[in-house]
Each structure stands twice: as C-alpha cells, then as structure tokens.
C-alpha cells in the first residue's frame, strides 16, 4: 500500500512539473527586411572596399537566440532549398577569387524583438588579388531560444564602385 501511494505521488508530481502544451514554443522566429532602414534588401548592391551597415529586424513569440550572416558567390545560379528571390543574374561563370564572409552573432537574453545593426567592412582584395564581381547570396539565419530557425536569402550584386 505504501508503495502504491508513493508511486501515485511521484506520478502526480511528474505531471505537475511537466510543461503544458501552451509552454512549448512551436513558432519560428521572423526576419523583417521590409522596412525603410533595412539593408540589404533584394537586389541591392554591396561595394568592395567599403563598409555598409546590416539592418534587419527580428521577432519571436517567445525569445530570440542568435543569428549568423553568410555571403558567398552565386556565379553558378545555385539554390539553398529555401526561397531566395533572384534578381537579374549575370551569365554563369567560373569563380576565380570569390568573396566569402561568415559571422555568428548573439542577441541579448530575454529579447522578443531585436534590430540588428552590424557594420560590415568588405575588403577590396585578398592575397590573391581583387575579388570577383557579380551575383552573390547574402543570407541571414535566425534561431530562437527554442531551437527554431529561419533562413532569409537575398540576391545581391557585389561590385567595385566606378569612379568618373
């Protein structure tokens, strides 16, 4: 009898300590790039040898976690398995010295909304010389504290600014 009461008590405590269905985060975070100060947006141009400011707004129903930025060439017109709005693409070409960028960033704890403002300096060359101009993907990956992730892929051009 004591064993039965003990088992029932343990089961009852276990039920009370479990999360309710309402406590489980089932919503992916959102990346907003459709406001006036957002950059880059679809089909924008980023210039080698200059600094630009990434501006994007993130939101989540529970709590945001972290985000990463990835820039790489799209000279072969590849896809990533998630929607990337393509712009007018240049002809397919072989990469010679493509620019590649990756950065992982954190979001302060407890945030449900956060505006990312990140200065990014783009070099004009590396030890192999000038970077290849053309079509690039600018990707943002946003993860919330619950582990849900949202990718956003933007097609951009990366060029050298022409001087007159």
Give the pLDDT of the chain (164 residues) as one tens digit per residue: 554 554 444 444 444 445 455 568 889 999 998 888 899 999 999 999 999 999 999 999 999 999 999 999 999 988 876 666 668 999 999 999 999 999 999 999 999 999 999 999 999 999 999 999 999 999 999 999 999 999 999 999 999 998 76
Quote the tokens at residue 143. Answer: 């993860």
**pLDDT score recorded for residue 46:** 98
Phi-psi region of 8 (alpha: psi -120 to 50; beta: other; left: phi over 0): alpha
**pLDDT score recorded for residue 25:** 84
Instruction: Say how many domains are in the chain.
Output: 1
Whether residue 164 is contained in a domain is answered as: no
Whether residue 12 is contained in a domain is answered as: no
Whether omega for the bond prior to residue 40 falls within 30 degrees of 0, making it cis, is yes
Whether residue 17 is contained in a domain is answered as: no
Q: CB atoms < 10 A from the CB of 65, how many? A: 20
Structural domain range at position 107: 26-159
**pLDDT score recorded for residue 39:** 96
Q: What is the CA radius of gyration of the chain?
A: 23
Whether residue 16 is contained in a domain is answered as: no
**pLDDT score recorded for residue 12:** 46
> What is the value of pTM for the model shown?
0.82
**pLDDT score recorded for residue 87:** 84
Q: How far is 59 from 32, CA to CA, in rounded Å?
A: 8
Quote the tokens at residue 30. Answer: 């959102």
Whether residue 71 is contained in a domain is answered as: yes
CATH number at residue 58: 2.60.40.2550
Secondary structure E strands in the chain: 30-32, 45-47, 51-59, 64-73, 84-85, 101-106, 113-121, 125-126, 129-130, 134-144, 149-159
């Amino acid at each position: 009898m004591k064993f039965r009461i003990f088992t029932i008590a343990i089961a009852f405590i276990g039920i009370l300590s479990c999360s309710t269905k309402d406590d489980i985060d089932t919503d992916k975070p959102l990346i907003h790039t459709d406001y006036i100060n957002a950059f880059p947006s679809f089909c924008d141009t980023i210039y080698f040898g200059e600094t630009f400011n990434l501006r994007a707004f993130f939101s989540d129903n529970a709590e945001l976690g972290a985000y990463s930025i990835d820039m790489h060439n799209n000279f072969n017109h590849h896809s990533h398995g998630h929607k990337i709005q393509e712009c007018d693409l240049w002809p397919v070409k072989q990469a010679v010295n493509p620019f590649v960028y990756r950065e992982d960033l954190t979001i302060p704890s407890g945030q449900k909304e956060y505006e990312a403002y990140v200065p990014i300096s783009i070099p004009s060359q590396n030890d192999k010389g000038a970077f290849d101009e053309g079509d690039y993907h600018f990707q943002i990956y946003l993860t919330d504290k619950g582990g849900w992730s949202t990718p956003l892929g933007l097609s951009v051009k990366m060029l050298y600014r022409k001087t007159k």
